[in-house]
Amino acid sequence: MMKSLQKLFSPLLALSILLGGQTFIHQAIAQPPGQQRAPLPPIPIKGDTTHTLTRHFKLATNTKIAPYANGFIHRWLVLEPIKKDIARNNIFTDNYLRSEFKNNNFSEDYLMIPKAGEMVKVGNESLKWYALDSKTFNFNLFNFSYDINKPKYGLLFWLVTVIDCSEEIQNVRMTAGCNSGGMFWLNGQEVLMLSGDRDMIVDNVASPLLTLKKGRNIIRGAVINGPGMANFCLRFIDKSDKPVKNISISKD
């Protein structure tokens, strides 16, 4: 199965690796568990000194959209990041991620769909929801945080999106890649765990076979990172490892 995935998506894997020198830098200096990562150089936002959100994203409208041709889901409600004191990313074990996401959760109702502009409180912080369409197949959280004048490193992001299906779709898998750690839930059930010090690689992890029900399906996600880029991509693939595209994406 994994060999098949790698063969099918090798061009996309190469694309993700070539997204820029930033990603290359991270792959080049990745450290095995238990070893501390060397200090990272600053990651510049090339050509953008104005903190412009629409440079990397479009504001989501009320019109449903299709996923990209390669199946990637690019419309997400994203909460302003929660600042975390994280010196290195190799602390992201399964237990660490479960504890951090539980203790910094905006709601225990995993079927809740926030509204764009809504404010929620996490700990002592009041944070705002945005509804955005990424202009690229991946959703760059580092750029999002920069664009809204928030810190760039040591951050936890919450994400929600809604997938609408005109009919039930059986035997699909949710796949994702993220930088660095993350978890994703479908309709309130945990389906993906991305622990460890990872770089964002397309289809890095895949869920067991799932069913997308007819009507509305809610995806909740959480991504956390210390130093370096924060980034993720997600899609569904069928039993033949082909992207699922007969779905629509909304924010409500």
Strand (E) or helix (H) holding 130: strand 125-134
198-227 tens-digit pLDDT: 999 999 999 999 999 999 999 999 999 998
Radius of gyration of the chain (CA): 17
* DSSP annotation string for 219-238: EEEEEEESSS--EEEEEEE-
Q: What mean pLDDT do residues 134-152 have?
A: 94
How many other CB atoms are there within 10 angstroms of residue 239's CB atom?
11
How many degrees, rounded to 5, is the angle at CA 248 between CA 245 and CA 252?
Answer: 155
User: Torsion over CA of 198, 202, 206 and 211, rounded to 10 degrees?
Assistant: 140
Which helix (H) or strand (E) is 3 found in, with range? helix 2-8
Q: Could you read off the pLDDT of 83-135 as tens digits, one per residue?
A: 999 988 889 999 999 999 999 999 999 999 999 999 999 999 999 999 999 99
Query: Would the pTM of this model clear 0.85, i.e. be above it?
Result: no
